[in-house]
A and B are shown apart, each in its own frame.
Chain A
Amino acid sequence: MHSDQEAIKKSIRSYMVVGALLLVFTGVTVAANSFHLAVPAAITLALIIASIKGTMVASVFMHLSHEKKWIYGSLLLTVVFFIVLLFLPLLTVAGGIGKPTGAPVVAHESGAAH
Chain B
Amino acid sequence: MEIPYTVEPRPDSGLANGKLGIWLFLASEVMLFGALFSTYILLRVGAAEWPHGELSIKLGAINTVILICSSVTMVMSWASLKLNNFSKGRLYLLITIVLAAVFLVNKYFEYADHFARGEGPWHNTFLAIYFTLTGLHGLHIIGGIVVMAYLLGPGAGLWKRNPEQYTNRIEYTGLYWHFVDLVWIFLFPVLYLL
A85 to B31, Cβ gap below 8 A? yes
Do A70 and B41 contact each other (CB < 8 Å), given the known contacts A19-B72, A47-B189? Answer: no
A70 to B20, Cβ gap below 8 A? yes
Do A57 and B188 contact each other (CB < 8 Å), given the known contacts A8-B82, A42-B193? Answer: no
Residues from chain B with a CB closer than 8 A to the CB of A19 are 68-69, 71-72
Range class of the A interface residue count:
35 or more
Residues from chain B with a CB closer than 8 A to the CB of A22 are 68, 71, 185
Give A61 to B177 CA distance when docked, in angstroms. 10
B76 to A54, Cβ gap below 8 A? no
A109 → chain B, closest Cβ, in Å?
Answer: 15
The contact string, 1 if C-beta is below 8 Å from chain B, for chain A 36-74, is: 000100110011011001100110011000001011001
A61 → chain B, closest Cβ, in Å?
Answer: 5
Give A90 to B24 CA distance when docked, in angstroms. 27
The contact string, 1 if C-beta is below 8 Å from chain A, for chain B 172-194, is: 00110011011001101110011
Task: Spot the interface stretch: B57-65, B108-116, B127-135, B147-155.
Answer: B57-65
Do A74 and B182 contact each other (CB < 8 Å), given the known contacts A47-B189, A86-B41? Answer: no
Question: Of all chain B residues, which has the CB nearest A42?
Answer: B194
Cβ of A103 within 8 Å of any chain B Cβ, yes or no, is no
A12 to B76, Cβ gap below 8 A? yes
